[in-house]
Structure 1
């Protein structure tokens, strides 16, 4: 099997051992992801099934099994435990569904006859969202079954004209159009190539697309047998016999503008603000999904793109079109006011930016109305501006001036849907407005002008003869008002024309896939002290990422609600080598190297050892131990090998009390870069409660694929293990005197380098002392309230039958909320 990069089409790898020894002409494939691993199944004609997984640096064959011709299928759809396929309609029509149960070791196959079908099965599709199997027959009838195919949940009988011929391997993997929606294409007759969309939940018809009314090519062609849908593109992909494969973008039912005033008012309501939007008459074509963006961010985005100012007036958030007409002219004699006790200041100051500090180009990225909401880009570009003449003077050896080339670009993105022409105008206006707004005027005036407020435009006198139009940005003072202004251009109009085919950022590639990151581990910062956990979204595929939302379900996946919004993605890696065992936590390991595969993401910069020690979070990583615990490490050296791998070295290990997880690491372990700008921490962690979390990129359709069931145990509350334990036998009494030093989970210094008794975060001091036999089997447990415990000869006799001359024991601090902390084990 040959693997190619989906973004560039570049060849990546050849994988041998896929399928039978003799190649076959018909091969079906499908994949499914869970637990951070993608499993790919390849089923060839003749019955050879190969399973590959993405654990490590790429796909590799896990097993290949010859099932034989009796389980022949021309389609494949994968679930977390089963594969489904149906026989070919032309050569072996039937109502039989081939069911292949699978796990990481092997497979077993069976056949299920679905007598309820009205005719032969054409498609068997596993729907992760509803956890059901959807069967489509040759007549276009739909049957929804439980995953074991034992119970028919609902059905809809159709009789599409001419029937839909052939088993469809494409539809068997790409039947979904959107959340809770599937689509079918009529194969022949007067309705040929029409697409009908149904709801999975009740099989009601959502939309019927008449192919003859669309701009699709080849809508009268009879040989487009196979069809699948891409949810990200909202497109149908179709191919067949002796035809050119086509992508047909699905038409929207309606694309009507909405009033910007209504959107602003709704966002203010969500933020708990009273608003006045009566002056706003602009309309917009839409805005990206707001689940991951707070109202303030949406308001700022919309007002920037639509040139709207806002200010709080008498407790009301008032919105008004960005003004160019001045509401007042300030006289030159009214500037430079000062209190009598103060020296006269400069009447008005002017601050101009350095030319080298100004951008030469502004690029806006946006959902393009003209390109079916794909992400496009337009640019506003500089023109010569004689006002900026402070470039450094340079000359060559002849004395001729050297032209200083400026090549600086400013980029910003908006979630507002724009036409390409409107986007070009916005880029052009913002570019020129930015250059104007970089000019700052400052002065002081009398209380006469206290009725002005930020956002108003005034004429500002620069001297006896010059004036400038400027917008008020800051005001302060009572009798003497200090004011700051920024220059305002003459208009917010532009004649710019957008590119007819915008530069597309993420068309075929689409948004990056994301998965929730849920780390129930020790505290990274003492300020995070609660029973929550660290959460984020990991970007796991190439593509466009702006932000994402995490949704949470409290009812087993029946309903989801927005839970957290993240503007930055976390970087996830896979350990290529096992992280070596390390006996001494918190000490520099300058020998070991740790290689991880990082398919997506830029490596952080290497830092000096001093810089690493001076920060709590720089170059931090969490490495998952096979036991499910997280070890926190930090790396002074992080090298991007430019082949999808990083090398970490000069390490600090077992940080934040995680030294217990330093041993037993394995290749294939999950590794997260602990970027504090990409993580959140809920105040209420729902400790001990099972919840389901799913990450969804902003501005995409909600999809519960990849949902993760997670139970937070509140390990941030777990006490760290004690240190510096000792056991001394009293020869006179036969008692063992056990002592140790307490640490604190808020991360105070190690006892040997800090105070002997660090501050304590628990409500009371308590320990459990565990006594073990020579084989590590627990014999008895005792409670202690100080860091000293006497294991008496009498207790030894009770536990072992006689006093002991050697001893194995463990000590753990006890939390009133969490329970026993990490145990320290010693022998004497």
Structure 2
């Protein structure tokens, strides 16, 4: 035996020496890279609203770096690793649009999401190394990049300077992305980068946008079938422990550290407690998205510690003056006067240790303590920081507010005038420099920043029993809006309210949504908070369950068309350059209010190849409005065409006024358009969308049937608005519309474009229809006539039957987890197939208990390409290659343990299955290996119980995975007792399954490869299935066929003849009762049969006979167990558990189960067999 092993190893080594050496891959050079570059003369666009940039200008790329990708060792388990390819790193500078921008919201590479959030400039990181399938395919994206927002004081980028030299410009006024040697994948062909940028609130000179309260129009969100949100689970602590801002959610829990979730991924990290006496609570997320916790306490002092939200890394620590305990803190921060300021109120063991702490952070610097002052002993429930004061609501006296002045400290307790109920929360509105107070009776009251003046109020704007309002610091739900959450006797609503008007702008009825956890009756009992950046709300319930819902589209808002037009007129960098004084502010504000109330926002780009006047005309066409110069003021006026008039008070033009009826036309049915197709940009799907609206009544009257026309509205970004505009247009183009041109006396000179009037003329059959002024010609001074073009006003037409004729958009299918999945310790035969006899012998010689992992999986969806294998455990996983999907199916009917012709359905890829290959049928507790002998239409023929498994019965719908030619391993040797976890990340053409969504399969190694194969074709008294009636048999004969793992290169089925076993292999026959208690074991059997004495079962009426194999102290992986009936049963005891009754009542070989039919007393039962 020893010399055979030595000779085998020597032969193996010789084979390795003679094997041709695999060639290493060669790295690409910079000249091999293909990247789009900026065309000479190509314009940088001006962006309005939230836009996708799929074709950025690549201004520069270079600084190529490489890392070799190493494969397996050249000589099996020995020798150096082969270089399979290279990971490529590249620097790059991309120009997007004119700035400054508000925020970057999304980055896509190769049409896959690499990052998503709300980033307002600076340096950020991406870690998506598996985005394109991992290093076994095309790699992914990871590294640092700089987001330059295009401000007027933008400095030169240090990375570009280091690569291009000191003459590198700062690119002020241009939004740019700088990749700082970012990992771009394993191919020299750079995948296209795309960015989503929002630019609404800043003008090109850096000044604030005009009339910011209505500048952003929130995009609608379908809460019935959109993102259901995140269920963050149940946490210990108090209701004041939460915070949410930007991309993160924080739960500060003094009983176990702080938990920080990423809204983008749903993943979380834990920041542990530090120091002694940690009995405080609450945490804070700063405007720079740093986690702030108060740590420590007692004589050793306490400090505010700042952490990175993605890693939990400590950034800095600020000691709070004095030695006092940690009873928690409140904090808020604000950006003002070219710096960032924070106010933290800390509590100590005694009231004299309560302190106000003003923090300051200079641009690019760290936080510092500006001052720390002793403060009131009152308990506070919230904090909101304004430009000159911080505001805190009192817990014990809810009629008062603590107002703390800064930067010079002063503390005052203020009772706001006119309160009608207790204060539930207070919030500083940065949009309006006002303080908003919400009262327990639903009143909302708005005060001046010093709380001295009540500016406006809305009594009972929201009400309901058991209402729950948020704490003040996270009340802003969008630009110029606040959010309120109401749970009135289980009727849960979320209101969005305009700060300037205190009107309810939008209400979400939670019961009508698909929100996760929406049926929790305690929703909001632990407080709520709004996340403006993601249009979301953090809702807590009892016992302190956390949910995050997306209820608005605030994160991808559109720009108010009035603001777009005004900016085009007044911008001095790229616009027409008019002064603000040239604008009729009242008309523009009125138009902005109309568009805002209608939810009519636009997002689009303007390139200078198009005249800016033509671009403005396109905006006017989108919103159906007129822009003209008022003859009396010389200012630009903006007039939306809406039903904004009283038909009884508008001017009437009749025969006395009209001097010449130049042209009167009525559109006939035959020439009328009865269907309008609107083409728009569907931002949700990132592609052009089309919707048709048809005037059914006119289509039925038309001899031409459907007469269609298309309209292009690229500034529209969502389906609902496209349908509304198509409805408007199909009415204006329909039959019967009157238009024309008339000459009038000077009495009509006060009319302006877009103004309505009534036209009366008997000879033209005009009876006072409402018309609109389209255009006017006031002549050349030699004639007093005013020539006026007009068209009939569609808002006063009769009702029409309109239908949306478009097909419903098919939603993108979410990336699904791999299913079914096979993750187990590899059987001996599979090891042999995978690594060969020589390597297997060497591995088991070194460690007989060694084994390898085997992984296979079925295709979860038609668009799934393959899967990334990740191996590890806990929070640490490593990529272990890619997995091609195995064919799969499900049982179309239940099968017994001896069935060989099997009906299947749901077949995927069965054309790739080889006859004679292996598959697994997934049992409830054990998996069975079968051999494929034939494949038909909806049927397969199988050999049962192959390798080291036994045949079992299986239910309908059980999965079958044809794994034999499609499995993988990470080829890491493991031994008995080792645990390993596996995740499979589905790869599609669009996405990679997020790690948090991938199921985890865990394997405990149990020396499977070295175990002998179980005996096969086991029979008791000639029967291969139980229960076996042995009432009149003694002794009971047991027979079997032996198997040999070493010689079974080709799998044989369960019923095959006896094989010569391994040296030292024997069989054991074990007798047990029904509970599994061992009664007797016959061991060391070298033959193929054993007679069992009935007396060995003792007094039991039923039991089991278990047949297994042993060798060198190892037992077979599985064993065959058959039930046996030994005597006629007497009366059985019935065991009742809850509402289920089970009894083993045997007559002959029939086993019955007694189960409930009804669940209410008196309970009745029926027997099913």
Q: TM-score, normalised by structure 1?
A: 0.35
Q: Which has the bigger relative contact order, CA under 8 A and spacing at least 6? A: 1
Judging by fraction of residues, say which structure has more strand. Answer: 2
Structure of larger gyration radius: 2
Q: TM-score, normalised by structure 2?
A: 0.26
